[in-house]
Structure 1
Amino acid sequence: MSADVRDLAEVDESEFSGLAQRHRRELHVHCYRMLGSYEDAEDTVQETFLRAWRRRETFEGRSTFRAWLYRIATNACLDLLARCRPEPATGGEVRWLQPYPDRLLDELPAGDADGPEAVAVARETIELAYVVAVQHLAPRPRAALILRDVLGWPARDVAELLGDSVNSVNSALQRARAGMREHLPAARQDWTGGDEDAATRELVRRFTEASVATDIGRLSTMLRDDVRCSMPPTPGLHVGRDAVVNDWIEDGFDQMTGLRAVPTAVNRQPAVAFYHWRERENAYLPLTIDVLRITGGAITEITIFHDDQFPRLGLPERLPAEGTE
């Protein structure tokens, strides 16, 4: 049976689950863009499938099964936002932000449009800078923006989903785009990392070495003047090289010893997972994950996640003592 099912009432639960699961990863990424949290996206996809099964008789075949699921998922996201986050993020930080593993993004289908522009949009709209900016929008304009600019839905379909007129959707979209310009770096080329080139890989290598050595002086030379650093869910956004460096010093980072690093990637950005030696465990245990945004050969943003994100990223739960691997 194809995904363009005409009569879901005749489909049993097992067959329905098979149809829906084909779209799990793309729905999960859609919910992640809407919510900024991997865990909330996971819960919302589960809710989407439950709602879809219970309402299967309402599918009339006027759209594809995939589009029908997107409608349900979007409404499930809006319901969660109304219930748990009635106000959008403010101040440039998103305390509920969680990383999205690249290895799971690789599961996304290529889609109908896989040209350079489509690939660029897919990459840019999953980067942390974009996800953070989206969280500063009110829920309905946020949905309009993602449906129109990321998924490419016609305005009339978005209007039908949101229960608004096309004019209202277009107005919301313009407000959302204006809001995004306030929270994204000024120029598009300034906030997309693109494919990692040799210079980027070299900078990540030097950042990793300096971090393991806890050499704040070396680290500071890699930061752009307007670098931003945050550590969700811990409150606080540090802006500017001096603020970031002083925060490292105040936290005693320059006194820390016994670090090891494992390269990884999240949200289509380079990242480094750091482990800290624990004598009692006779092993290196997870510490933090630093996600980097690099522009023009300098680090423009560092988003630091706690050790609870290691399992989701497929990282080892511990590293053995050096020389015992």
Structure 2
Amino acid sequence: MTGRSEFERRTEPFRKELLAHCYRMLASVDEAEDLVQETYLRAWRSYSSFEGRSSLRVWLYRIATNACLTALEQRGRRALPSGLGAPGDDPTGPASPTDVAWVEPLPDSLDPELVVTGRESLRLALIAALQHLAPRQRAVLILREVLAFPAAEVAVMLDTTVAAVKSTLQRARARLDEAAPDRSSVIEPTDPQARALLDTYIEGFEKADVAALERALRADAAIELVGTTTWFAGRVTCLRLLEQAVGSPGDWRMISTTANGQPAAAAYVRDATGTHQAFGLAVLTPTPTGLTHIYVFNEPELLTRFSLPLQLPPGGG
């Protein structure tokens, strides 16, 4: 029992950062949680042979990274709609379903402190861009550039050479530059402008005020309907979609939250009884000049991950 309690005491402080690491690798909260569990099981089984040639943190990251690489051998990459094709031009048409595995949003509440310190590396657009990298490229880039492990330690984790790590990192950077959007203008969710944009977005839906939504969107804004291959680019086209969606005043109620270090709105739509049933989550990308992206996850059960109810009673604001 002493050995087990010592193991837990020494390793538990790394659990949440390992979850973030596995999430960056896999783009799935569920899979990341499973892999962290597997990491701790493997670590416990081999703890008696851990000889301290590396730090405990490096040892745990080695186990977690290799568990992720094994998992990635068995499936394709996760994606967002914009990673699958060109934007649509007819918001009145039906969305196109597909069996693609999607990038999942990460509740900031899983570890607020970690999200604050590593917020940029958890933003949805970057998580999606990382999925374009080959798994080992992804691992090297995350370990070196996000987590700042020295090349020698990364080489030990991946059972390779320092030279191989450096060349892999170079290729990963070049590929990421092709896949990743410009993130320099994105502002933090605590910024007053970000809060104002979230409030305007929520007001637009709750009051069926399309003009408010128009004020919130930048001219180059995009809306992605995650779970389908459908997405739209440009404020004019996006507003045509939103005009159909807002309905009448009171049809929607929303609760503000945060996901992937970005402002988000949990959405509820009114049914025939006047009860607002969970619809899903909208994750927003705010900049000083407006929203550039709205990712819509039409998954009611997703709200339970954010400790939110699946329905709201009639009435309320």
Query: How would you bin the TM-score normalised by the shorter chain?
Result: 0.7 to 0.9
* 2:312 matches 1:322: no
* AA aligned opposite 2:263: P
SS of 2:305's partner is: coil
The aligned runs of 1:1-325 (5 Å cut-off) are: 12-85=3-76, 89=79, 92=83, 95-106=101-112, 108=114, 119=117, 122-186=118-182, 188-190=183-185, 192-194=186-188, 196-248=190-242, 252-255=244-247, 258-280=251-273, 283-305=275-297, 306-322=299-315
Instruction: For residues 84-125 of structure 1, give each alpha carbon's deviation from its aligned partner in whole angstroms, at most 9, with x where no partner exists.
Output: 22x575852684211111222225499xxxxxxxx4xx1210
SS of 1:289's partner is: strand
> Cα RMSD over matched residues?
2.5
Structure 2 Cα separation of the partners of residues 18 and 233 of structure 1 = 40
Structure 1 Cα separation of the partners of residues 154 and 138 of structure 2 = 12
Query: How many aligned residue pairs are there?
Result: 299
Assess if the C-alpha contact under 8 Å between 1:88 and 1:137 holds in 2.
no
Assess if the C-alpha contact under 8 Å between 2:193 and 2:288 holds in 1.
no
TM-score with structure 2 length normalisation?
0.85
Displacement after TM superposition at 1:55 (Å): 2.1
SS of 2:181's partner is: coil
* AA aligned opposite 1:124: E
Assess if the C-alpha contact under 8 Å between 2:188 and 2:194 holds in 1.
no
Displacement after TM superposition at 1:194 (Å): 2.6
Displacement after TM superposition at 1:59 (Å): 1.5
Structure 1 Cα separation of the partners of residues 70 and 149 of structure 2 = 21
Assess if the C-alpha contact under 8 Å between 2:140 and 2:168 holds in 1.
yes
Assess if the C-alpha contact under 8 Å between 2:300 and 2:310 holds in 1.
no
* AA aligned opposite 1:205: D
SS of 2:268's partner is: strand
* AA aligned opposite 1:291: V
Structure 2 Cα separation of the partners of residues 146 and 159 of structure 1 = 13
Displacement after TM superposition at 1:14 (Å): 4.2
Instruction: For residues 226-259 of structure 1, give each alpha carbon's deviation from its aligned partner in whole angstroms, at most 9, with x where no partner exists.
Output: 222223232233332244334445xx41436621
Instruction: For residues 129-148 of structure 1, give each alpha carbon's deviation from its aligned partner in whole angstroms, at most 9, with x where no partner exists.
Output: 22111111110000000000
Assess if the C-alpha contact under 8 Å between 2:78 and 2:103 holds in 1.
no
Structure 1 Cα separation of the partners of residues 72 and 237 of structure 2 = 32
Range moving further from structure 2, 235-244 or 153-162: 235-244
Gaps of 5+ in 2: 85-99
Gaps of 5+ in 1: 1-9, 111-118
Structure 1 Cα separation of the partners of residues 138 and 78 of structure 2 = 10
Assess if the C-alpha contact under 8 Å between 1:290 and 1:302 holds in 2.
yes
SS of 1:227's partner is: strand
* AA aligned opposite 1:47: E
* AA aligned opposite 1:172: T
Displacement after TM superposition at 1:179 (Å): 1.9
Match of 1:5 in 2: none
TM-score with structure 1 length normalisation?
0.83
Range moving further from structure 2, 225-234 or 74-83: 225-234
Instruction: For residues 20-64 of structure 1, give each alpha carbon's deviation from its aligned partner in whole angstroms, at most 9, with x where no partner exists.
Output: 322211110110111111111011101111111222244220112
Q: 1:109 to 1:213 in 2, by over 3 A?
A: closer
Assess if the C-alpha contact under 8 Å between 1:203 and 1:297 holds in 2.
no
Percent identity between the aligned chains? Answer: 40
User: Larger relative contact order (C-alpha < 8 A, sep ≥ 6)?
Assistant: 2
SS of 1:76's partner is: helix
